Chain A
Amino acid sequence: MLFRENGQFKSTYRADLQMLPIRQDRWFMAGLVAFAFLAVPYIASGYLFLSLINPFLILTLAAIGLNLLVGYCGQISIGHAAFMSVGAYAAYNLALRIPALNFIVVLILAGLIAAVVGMLFGIPSLRIKGLYLAVATLAAQFFTDWLFARVKWFTNYAHSGSVSTAPIVLFGWKIETPVEKYLFLLAVLIVFTLIAKNLTRGHLGRAWMATRDMDVAAEVIGIRPVYAKLTAFGVSAFYCGVAGALWGFVHLGSWEPLAFNLALSLNLLFMIIIGGMGSILGSYFGAAFITVLPILLNQVPLWLDVPLSTAMVSNFEAMLFGALIVLFLILEPRGLARLWAIGKEKLRLWPFPH
């Protein structure tokens, strides 16, 4: 009843091509963004920001990046933490060696460096497909692990290979408190979400999707696979590079190569599988599921006042989390975003379903 587009006529092409064609959707989004910017800083505690919300925002950005490649272009990668680490170390070195650079410039340059590396590791995708490609992308993971652990220049000759960053200063604004970090991350994420959404709606996204659905057919209708696949790798690695730089500078503050290990790559992949492949919204759901849920589960016994030993709680967390993953994959193999879409469909018919 409420969620229905009756009476919303589109009289221009522009109106027809809007990102959110239904008015209620637009209001909802505007409300959500306003809530996130204006209300959340007053509601959430420092703990929530630093442990749940901020990591969620950064990993969402990385998940969007991976989703562009896997979900939209159909090229599986299980080495995307590598591009995050390239972004993080590029940003570290840029900020360290050229202190005058604005952090926004550092972020973008770090993303571009990651994009170049991503395209380099995307070259095998021109020859190999599917699972074989997935194995090839593992090379990126192991190569960067080795590079940043062994080549001392990248870590500025730190004794233990662990690097630390200076606080971020943006036009005289020192981003230090949890809320400031949150606002900065939120702004970055919204900008990049808009770009990603529009990329997937434009000719580039269509080229990716055509390649994903059937590469021979895509080639026949005039899409160059080299172009489509390498741009997908480039853009995807750019997103992950920016996310990696944020992960290092805003979330961790100091890190070691282990922070970007294979486990993170796999987590990113789980995020988009559970959230929904080929869906920007799904990246949000998936990131929330993977980053926030284990920590919530870990605290449930405490909130319910169940006296359990620490070891028991953490085993319980792992078991329940695994069970939930299986449950969601059985109930909706196409991801949480699909559940959302179904919910919306139902809402359109409510309260008189036929």
Chain B
Amino acid sequence: MTRQLKAGLMCAALAAGAALGGVAVAQDNEQFFPVLVYRTGPYAPNGVPFANGYVDYLKLVNARDGGINGVKIGFEECETGYATDRGVECYERLKGKGPTGGTVFQPLSTGITFALTDKSFNDKIPLITAGYGRADSVDGSVFRWNFPLGGTYWDAADILVQHVGKKEGGLDKLKGKKIALVYHDSPYGKEPIALLQERAKMHGFELILLPVTHPGVEQKATWLQIRQQRPNYVFLWGWGVMNSTAIKEAVATGYPREKMYGVWWSGAEPDVEPAGPGAKGYNALVFLAPAGEGAVHKDIMKYVYDKGQGTGDKSKVGEVLYNRGMVSAMMAVEAVRKAQSKYGKKPLTGEQVRWGLENLDITDADIKKLGLTGYMEPIKTSCENHEGAHSARVQTWDGKKWHVQPGTYQADQKIIRPMIEQSAEKYAGEKKLQKIDCKSV
């Protein structure tokens, strides 16, 4: 019995000691960036390169420029495992750190974004959800704190329909065709459905919805249906191991990879490499950052990796998701820089950074200065438009490398904008939120 009690007491002491233990030292004069990552679990193959790119860029800004206009960046990682509850826990853990609290959160998960959107109204900390999150959060009059910079899933779905329409020789040629959406059965995968249904009604194609349950390693039934129904195109809305599994299943069922189009989260190296040579011909969208290296990567090598400060594997620098993490960090840094022009060169609060995000204007000249020429389109946000840009290109995997196809698509805002406004209106009604008049801001 005493042994049992001893063990119990030891555990209690451990827990108590932990609760009373030291507090992370925060610098007085730094801008604190909370970093939600997932380096473990079924989504780690995609989470790790994104996180490395994100953190490397923050390190670069500190090492090369001495911070943002002299204000050093502080950051801390927290592992979410792509789980909503742990994501919320991480958010609560990090939101108050640093002299001014968390600057901006980028959870890289649509599920976590939904949960944090709710909290943003009270906590006054902005969320950047570059290329994911709620499509309706483009409407800044309701979603004051969300910034889906660069594109939403409605844009992505719209662009994919435009692309296959072009392949067929016109959107009217889609009539009677079948398009299957193989999607992750979570808010992430369900987001594009509304837009695709709208487009299906317009052009008369048949939309086949095929959900895949988390984490997506079991897709036999899904691909059996594809074999039976023979859709003309398959859109893939997967993440993590689900993507490579889908491509492997396509190989097994003999579905042509050339007819498969992934969203921009289904188009990175970890998605195609496990499928081996079978992945050749697979297509995916690319927005913000394609794979490759530009001027900024040379700086990252020089200031971060050569000094032994690199976060990940040197050879993985320049991969699709690495670059996307890097660009995501860059947009947050630029938002702080913009906000500093109004509030002064000191650590800023989330509320002040929100102003910077809403008035973000990254022009071609800025992109060149940042060393990102060829890696992104200009972004200009406003109160009505928290997205800033909604263009994307298509890339194809040749078995070794991603090749970006010529031609940039713009999502058709005539279709999307009314849907955004209607959906945002509904959200405001459910949450009993006061809309803000964008004209008076």
Enumerate chain A interface residues (CB-CB to B < 8 A). 46-47, 50-51, 55, 96, 149, 156, 159-167, 176, 252-256, 258-259, 293, 295-300, 302-305, 309-311, 313-315, 324, 327, 331-332, 339, 342-343, 346
Contact = CB atoms under 8 A, between A and B. Distances in A.
Interface of B: 1, 3-5, 7-8, 11, 14-15, 18-19, 21-24, 37, 39-40, 44, 48, 51, 77-79, 81, 84-85, 88-89, 92-93, 96, 110-111, 114-115, 117-119, 122, 134-136, 185-188, 190-191, 193-194, 211, 214, 423, 427, 430-432
Q: Which of A51, A160, A298 has the most CB of B within 10 A?
A: A160
Contact of B190 (A47, A161, A298): A161
B7 A327 contact: yes
Contacts of B431: 164-167
Nearest to B3: A331
17 contacts: A46-B92, A47-B96, A51-B88, A55-B85, A159-B190, A159-B194, A160-B110, A162-B114, A164-B427, A164-B430, A254-B117, A256-B114, A259-B85, A299-B18, A310-B51, A311-B39, A342-B1
Given A259-B84, A331-B7, A253 B115 contact: yes
Contact of B78 (A167, A300, A310): A310
B118 A159 contact: no
Given A256-B186, A310-B39, A46 B114 contact: no
Q: Which of B3, B110, B186, B214 has the most CB of A within 10 A?
A: B186
Contacts of A253: 115, 118-119
Contacts of A313: 79
A293 B79 contact: no
A176 B79 contact: no
Given A160-B191, A164-B431, A256 B111 contact: yes
**Interface residues of B: mostly helix, strand, loop or mixed?**
helix
Given A156-B430, A253-B118, A298 B79 contact: yes
A277 to B, nearest CB: 18
Contacts of B111: 162, 256, 258
A160 B44 CA distance: 23
A160 B157 CA distance: 14
A50 B51 CA distance: 26
B18 A149 contact: no
A299 B15 CA distance: 11
A314 B79 contact: yes
B415 to A, nearest CB: 14
| A-B residue pairs, 3 tightest by C-beta | A303-B21, A311-B39, A160-B187
Contacts of A159: 135-136, 190-191, 193-194, 423
